[in-house]
Amino acid sequence: MGRKRDPTQVVKSGPGKKAKKQQPPTFPGLLTEDKTETKKLSSRQKKRLKNREEKRQKFLSMKKEKEESYQKLKAMKKSKQVEESKENKSNNNNRKRKISKQESSEEEEDEDDELEDESEEDGINEEAESSDEEEVESSDEDPQGYTDDNKLWLKPSKRKMDEDVSESEEEDENDSDDDGDDDNMDDEFDSDEDEEDEDENEDMLPIEKAAKKLNKKQEKDRKLAEAELQTNISEMEKYTLPSGQEIEKESQQPPDLQLILQRIKEVQHVLGDFKGRREPDRTRQDYLDQLIKDLCAYYSYNEFLMEKLVQLFPHEISEFLEANEVQRPVTIRTNTLKTRRRDLAQALINRGVNLDPIGKWSKVGLVVYDSQVPLGATPEYLAGHYIIQGGSSFLPVMALAPQENERILDMSSAPGGKTTHIASLMKNTGVIFANDANKDRAKAIVGNVHRMGITNTVICNYDGRKFPSVMHGFDRVLLDAPCSGTGVIAKDTEVKMNKDEKDIQRCSHLQRELLLAAIDCCDAKSSTGGYIVYSTCSILVDENESVIEYALNKRNVKLVPTGLDFGKEGYVNFERHRFHPNMKLTRRFYPHTHNLDGFFVAKLKKFSNKIPGAEEKTRVATEMADSVNVAEDVKKEVAVKGENQSGEEPVKDNKDTAPGKKDNKKKGSSKWNKKDTAKKTFKPGKFKKFKNNDGKSKQKKKPKSKN
Nearest-5° angle of CA 699, CA 702, CA 704?
Answer: 120
- Terminal Cα distance for the chain, rounded: 167
Give the distance from CA 69 to its chain's centroid: 69
Q: State the pLDDT at residue 103.
A: 52
Q: State the pLDDT at residue 47.
A: 85
Please check the confidence at residue 476 and state whether its pLDDT lies above 90. yes
Please check the confidence at residue 2 and state whether its pLDDT lies above 80. no
Please check the confidence at residue 126 and state whether its pLDDT lies above 90. no
CB 375 within 8 A of CB 388: yes
473-to-429, 468, 520, 524, 605 alpha-carbon distances in Å: 18, 9, 8, 8, 14
- Residue 472 per-residue DSSP state: -
Distance CA 681, CA 622 (A): 9
Q: State the pLDDT at residue 37.
A: 52
- Most confident range (mean pLDDT) of 20-29, 60-69, 458-467, 685-694 is 458-467
Q: State the pLDDT at residue 28.
A: 61
Q: State the pLDDT at residue 367.
A: 95
Q: Buried b vs exposed e over 561-578: b needs ≥16 C-beta within 10 Å?
A: ebebeebeebbeeeeeee
Mean local confidence (pLDDT), 487-516: 93
Per the annotation, binding residues for S-adenosyl-L-methionine are 412-418, 436, 463, 480
Distance CA 420, CA 387 (A): 9
Phi, psi for residue 370 in degrees, rounded to 5: -155, 145
- Active-site amino acid positions: 537
Please check the confidence at residue 18 and state whether its pLDDT lies above 70. no
- Most confident range (mean pLDDT) of 66-80, 104-118, 211-225, 625-639 is 211-225
Please check the confidence at residue 154 and state whether its pLDDT lies above 60. no
Distance CA 578, CA 545 (A): 10
CB 600 within 8 A of CB 515: no
Mean local confidence (pLDDT), 295-299: 91
Please check the confidence at residue 61 and state whether its pLDDT lies above 60. yes
Please check the confidence at residue 635 and state whether its pLDDT lies above 90. no
Q: Side by side, which strands form the sheet with 330-334?
A: 353-357, 365-371, 330-334, 386-388
Mean local confidence (pLDDT), 666-670: 47
Q: State the pLDDT at residue 92.
A: 58
Distance CA 324, CA 328 (A): 9
Q: How many CB atoms lie within 10 A of CB 618?
A: 10
- How large a percentage of the chain has pLDDT more than 70? 65
Helix and strand counts by DSSP (H, E) for the chain: 26, 15
185 versus 431: which is more confidently predicted?
431
Please check the confidence at residue 468 and state whether its pLDDT lies above 60. yes
Q: Poorest-confidence range of 61-65, 184-188, 399-403, 509-513?
A: 184-188
Sequence-distant contacts of 17-24: CB under 8 A, at least 24 apart: none
274 versus 365: which is more confidently predicted?
365
Distance CA 531, CA 512 (A): 17
In this prediction, residue 666 has a pLDDT band, given cuts at 50, 70 and 90, of very low
- Residue 39 per-residue DSSP state: P
Q: How many CB atoms lie within 10 A of CB 123?
A: 18
Q: State the pLDDT at residue 5.
A: 64
Give the distance from CA 348 to its chain's centroid: 26
564-to-324, 329, 361, 684 alpha-carbon distances in Å: 24, 21, 8, 52
Please check the confidence at residue 66 and state whether its pLDDT lies above 90. no
Q: State the pLDDT at residue 197.
A: 42
The strand pair at 557-560 and 531-536 is best described as unpaired
283: left (phi over 0), alpha (psi -120 to 50) or beta: beta
- How large a percentage of the chain has pLDDT more than 90? 40
In whole numbers, what is the pLDDT of the chain averaged over residues? 76
Mean local confidence (pLDDT), 25-49: 67
Please check the confidence at residue 436 and state whether its pLDDT lies above 50. yes
Q: Poorest-confidence range of 101-115, 253-267, 311-325, 392-406?
A: 101-115
651 versus 339: which is more confidently predicted?
339
